[in-house]
Structure 1
Amino acid sequence: MSRQAYRAALLHMLEDPTRAPAAEACAYHPDGLLVVEDGHVAAFGAHADLAPTLGADVAVTELPGRLITPGFVDAHVHYPQVDVIAAWGAQLLDWLVTHTFPAEQAFADRAHADAVAEVFLDQLLANGTTSALAFCTVHKASADALFEVALKRNMRLIAGKVLMDRGAPAGLTDTVETGRADTEALIRAWRGRGRLGYAVTPRFAVTSSDAQLAMAGEIAAAHPDVLVHTHMSENPDEIARVAELFPQARDYLDVYDRFGLVGPRSVFAHCVHSGEDALRRLAGAGASAAFCPSSNLLLGSGLFNLKQACRCGVNTALGTDVGGGGSFSLIHMMGEAYKVGQLRGDNLDPLHAFYLATLAGARALHIDDRVGNLAPGKEADFVVLDLAATPLLARRTRGARTLAETLFVLAILADDRAVERTYLMGELTHARDAP
C-alpha cells in the first residue's frame, strides 16, 4: 500500500455553517497532518496526535506556511467557452448570440474539442478545482472529448451534451430524436467510468421545445443516477422570453417541473430572480442552485439573494460560469460572492463562502460521499495553498488574527498563484512551479 503524509495547516467543512455552530461546521488544525493511503484519506488531524502513529517508512512532506484544503467543486461551468472568457458585450441573450454561439459552432471539429478540453482541465486544476459540473456543446463529440481527457487525468467530472432544438443558429441545434440518441449513447459510454458522471443538459427553456424538455425528463427518470443541469432565472429578458414561450406555466421553475426536471439531482444555475415561492419549491424538491457571482455581475444579470436562498432551505453552491464568469478560480468566486452580498446589504461569512466552494458543491453534485472534505475514507482530492504567494498576500495573512480573516484575505487577494499544488486521489496533477 502507498502511504504519504503532508504537514501543514488543515481546513475542511463538516456542515453548512449557517445551520451548525462554527465549532461543529468546520475542522481546522493550524499544525495538522493529512495522511493519504492508496488515493484515499487515511487520517486528518493535529500533527501532535497523528505523528506518533506513523510508521518509520512513511514519508512526511513538510509544508510550512501552507494551508491544505479539499479540492474546490465548481457547480456550474462551460468548457466550450474558454475562448470567450473576458468577452466584452451586452447582457445575456445578446452575449450568447455575439460570443457564445459562434465559439460553440467550432466544436463540430473533434480536434478542436480535444484541444480545448485539455486547456479547460488545465485551468481547473491550476485554480485548485478538482470536481466540476460542466456544459459541453450540442455536438456529441464535444462531450466525448471532455470525458476522454477527464478519464485520462482521473478527475471527478460530471458533464453532458447540450440539448437545444430551437432558438440557435444552424449547426448548433439537434432534434428530439438525435438529442435522445446522443444522450443515451453518452450515458452508456461514460457514466461510471473512472470518476465520471453524466448530466442531462437542456441549455435553458428558451432553446428547447416542449417535446425536447419532455424527452429530457424521460431520460432523467430512466437513469436515476444522472443529474439534470440547466439554467434558470438568470436575466430579466430571458425570463420574459420564457413566459412568452410557456404561457401556461406558473413561473420559470414550473416550466421544468412540468417535464419532470425538478428533483433531488437537479442543479439550476443562477436563480438570480427566483422569488421566495420558487426557492421554497426548489428546496422541497431537494434541488440545488449554483450561485455564479462573477457572471451575474459581468453580464449585468442581477444580485443573487444568497441569504434568502439559505433561509428557504435551498442547497446553494458556487459556480464560476466560465466564460460568462471572469475567472476559473473558486477562491475568486468567494470574494465575488461577498461583494454581491455587500450590494444586497448582507455580509457573507468567510467560512460560509468556503463551504459554498467545497462541501456544498459536492452535495449539489451528489458526490459528497466521495469528495467535498477530507474525512477519512474519502478520495484524496486536495489543494496546497501558499499563504505567501505574493508579497501583499504574505503580509496580510501573516497579520490575520483568525481563520475567518485568513479566508477573507485569500478570497479578496489570492489568485491562481496561491495554488501551489493540486492532487487528485493523492497524485500530484498540478504544480505551480513546474515547467
Structure 2
Amino acid sequence: MGFAVEEREHAVVIGAGIAGLTAAAALADVFERVTVLERDALGEAPGFRPGVPQSRHLHSLMGAGQRALDALLPGFTERLYGAGAVPLRTPYDHLWLSPAGWCHRFAPSHTVPSATRELVEYVVRTSVAEIDGVGFRDRTETVGFAGDAERVTGVRVRARDGGQVDEISADLVVNASGRGPGGRGWLRALGLAEPEVERTDSRPGYSSRLYEMPEGFADEWRIISIQPGEGQPLRGGALVPVEGGRWLVSLYGYLDDHPPVDAEGFLEFARSLRHPVLHDVVRDAVPAGPVHGFRHMANERYRYEDLPAWPDGLLLVGDAVCAVNPVYAQGMSMAAMTAVTLRRLLGEGAGCRAMQKEIAAGNERAWQVATGADLAYLADAGDAGSRDAGEYMRRLMELALVDAEVNRTFFDVMMMLAEPDALASPELAARVARGPARPPADPAC
C-alpha cells in the first residue's frame, strides 16, 4: 500500500542525527510538513550532544555518502569545506600501515572532506533547516507511537524536563532514534512480534583526543593509519586533520584490549602500535581537550523486514534498525544513502513494508563488511571456505599496496562507490594469483 496524495500532509522524524536529518530532507520532497523531534538541545554552533556519544571519535564520510548528501542537500560539500573541513586525497595523503604492510604513495583517486562528527552534523542540520516545510522541536522526548499494529498515526511526546504527554499526528513516522532500546519498546507496545536479532561483537573500544596542530607543520602526509597486524594483532589507531587547525587521534583495540582514557595511558597505548610514527607525531603536540572513551560498538541489526506484519505509517532507519562497528567508518554514509533510497521509494508510491525491506537490503553491504572483518577477531581457523576467502583477501591487500590500479579498485569498494564483487572479478583474481611485482613501501617512509 502506498501513500495517497491526501496522506502526505505531515511526517514526523524521531532523532536529529545524520539518519534523521537526511530522512527529513528526503521526506520534504513529498510531504507538506516535516517535523524533526530531538531529545537533546540543538545548539547554534557545532557541539557535543549526549544522544551521539560516539561523536567525539574519528568519523569519515565515504565517497558514496558524500555524493548522497550532495544529492539530498545541493551544495553540501562546499558548505562543509566553507565551515573548515579539510580535503583528504585518497590514498595520496595517507601514511598507511595495513595488515599486509605499508602502502606506496599513489596519485589521488578520491577526495573527501575530513571534519569532526559535530561539524558534519551541524552543516547537515542547518542545510535541512533551510528546506521549506521542515521544522525542529528539540528538548522533546518521544515516549511511544500512536496507533496500533496495523497503522501508526503519530507519536506521543513530552518535554524533556517533564510535563504532560501530548500526541502529534502524522501520516508517516520515521524512527531514527539510534541504538537505544526505546524504539523497540514502542513497537512491543503496539503488539508487534519480536524480530530476529543478529549481533556480532568483537568487543572493540575507542579512545580519542584532539590536538592542536603545530604551527607551520608540513609533511607529505595528512593522515596516519596504523592497523592491527603482525606483532600487534589487536591494536590500531589513526590521526586525521579536522577543522580549526587540529588533529583528531583515535586509538582502538579489540577483544577488550581497549585504549585507556587517561593522558599517560593514551600515549602509552599509541606507543604500543606496530609502528611509532603516530605516537611520535602527537607526543609533543598540545592537547586540545581530554581523552574520551567509547565502548558500545557491536554490530547489531533487527530483522523487522521479516516480520509477518508491519504497520502502515512507520519506518525505521539508521542505527534503530542496523548499527555497525564504527571503526569501519560506514555509519554516516549508510544514513545518507538510505535517505536517497527513501526519497526514490516515496516518489514511486511504495508502501511502508516494501520500503522497510529495501532499507534493510541497502544495509547488507555495510553489514557484511563490518561483520566479516570483526569475525576475524572472534573465530578460530574456521572452515576451508573461510580460510580460502581470508587468504584471497590477504593476497589482494598485498597487491593493492603496490599496484595503483588495484589500489583504486580497492578504494572504490571501501568508499562504497563500487560493489564488493569488484574485488573478485576474473581479471583481478588472475592478478592476485600472480602476486605483487614489487614489495610494500619502506616502513621508514
Question: How high is the TM-score relative to the length of structure 2?
Answer: 0.20
Q: Which has the higher helix share?
A: 1
Q: Considering only CA atoms, is the larger Rg found in Structure 1 or Structure 2?
A: 2
